[in-house]
């Protein structure tokens, strides 16, 4: 597993001094970026070869949120290539190796000139050394959207929502969706299913469906077609 060491910063915690889900996701995203850069398959390589890895789904399960100034180890490993799809695990651990959180993710490799899926080349398969996937309770990729939800005020995509690929970063969607959780909702599991990309000045229409220990937020276009569906489970649900 590729890893880097870090320390929980003040800018990454909530009012209770615990790491936020949004910050945890950023750690995982940074970890895969660091690995890609270190093996020579980073942003510049992808841009030169007109390729981009687009996230299809997240599943993040939290055992315990680290607190302000805790020292942590963040890791990632690729474990499968299937056609144009790549599967990758993530983990955050304590200094002594105890798991704080685990994650599963599915990525699609696209040609930026055609917008179509493409197979990873030989160099990509060679340098992303596959490992055995982490033991965890793997949830389905598809998220069911409950009926009877509430339509919230639209959100306009701004520049700060975009990443180096010029579309809304996957973590920004989760951050938007988390705004509809009630105070004190302790997220044990987050799943996100990404369906299409949003760009600068696009308008997202949030649909929020709430149950006792579960919130499902769908961010859609004006016609109701989802950009992303995000599910949050309260700690008692797992």
| pLDDT digits 0-9 by tens, 74-131 | 999 999 999 999 999 999 999 999 999 999 999 999 999 999 999 999 999 999 999 9
For residue 107, the model assigns a pLDDT of 96
Residue with tokens 């997220």: 187
Please report, for the chain, the start and end positions of each structural domain, with discontinuous segments joined by +: 2-127, 150-237
Q: Do domains 2-127 and 150-237 have the same CATH topology?
A: yes
Looking at the domain that runs over 150-237, which CATH code has it been given? 3.10.129.10
What is the average per-residue pLDDT within 201-212? 94
For residue 237, the model assigns a pLDDT of 47
For residue 238, the model assigns a pLDDT of 45
CATH 3.30.200.20 fits 2-127, yes or no: no
pLDDT tens digits, one per residue of 122-169: 999 999 999 999 999 999 999 999 999 999 999 999 998 888 778 888
Query: For the chain, what is the mean pLDDT?
Result: 94
Rounded to two decimals, the pTM is: 0.93
Inform me whether the pLDDT recorded for 51 exceeds 60: yes
Are 75 and 91 in contact, with CB atoms under 8 Å apart? yes
Q: How many CB atoms lie within 10 A of CB 23?
A: 19
What is the average per-residue pLDDT within 225-236? 92
Which comes out higher in pLDDT, residue 198 or 11? 11
Here the tokens at position 15 are: 């009012």
For residue 4, the model assigns a pLDDT of 98
What is the average per-residue pLDDT within 3-24? 96
For residue 197, the model assigns a pLDDT of 87
For residue 165, the model assigns a pLDDT of 74
For residue 95, the model assigns a pLDDT of 94
């Amino acid at each position: 597993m590729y890893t880097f060491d870090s320390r929980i910063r003040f800018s990454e915690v909530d009012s209770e001094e615990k790491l936020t889900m949004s910050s945890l996701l950023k750690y995982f995203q940074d970890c895969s970026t660091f690995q890609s850069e270190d093996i020579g398959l980073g942003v510049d390589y992808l841009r030169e070869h007109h390729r981009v890895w687009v996230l299809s789904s997240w599943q993040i399960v939290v055992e315990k949120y680290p607190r302000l100034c805790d020292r942590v180890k963040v890791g990632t490993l690729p474990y499968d290539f299937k056609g144009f799809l790549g599967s990758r695990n993530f983990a955050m651990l304590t200094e002594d190796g105890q798991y704080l959180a685990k994650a599963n993710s599915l990525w699609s490799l696209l040609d930026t000139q055609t917008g179509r899926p493409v197979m990873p080349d030989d160099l990509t398969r060679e340098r992303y050394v596959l490992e055995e996937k982490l033991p965890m309770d793997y949830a389905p990729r598809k998220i069911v959207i409950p009926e009877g939800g509430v339509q919230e005020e639209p959100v306009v995509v701004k520049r700060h929502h975009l990443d180096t690929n010029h579309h809304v970063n996957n973590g920004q969607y989760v951050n938007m969706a988390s705004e509809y959780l009630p105070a004190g909702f302790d997220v044990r599991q987050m799943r996100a299913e990404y369906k299409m990309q949003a760009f600068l000045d696009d308008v997202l229409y949030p649909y929020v469906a709430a149950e006792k220990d579960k919130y499902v937020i769908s961010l859609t276009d004006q016609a109701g077609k989802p950009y992303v569906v995000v599910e949050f489970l309260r700690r008692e649900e797992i």
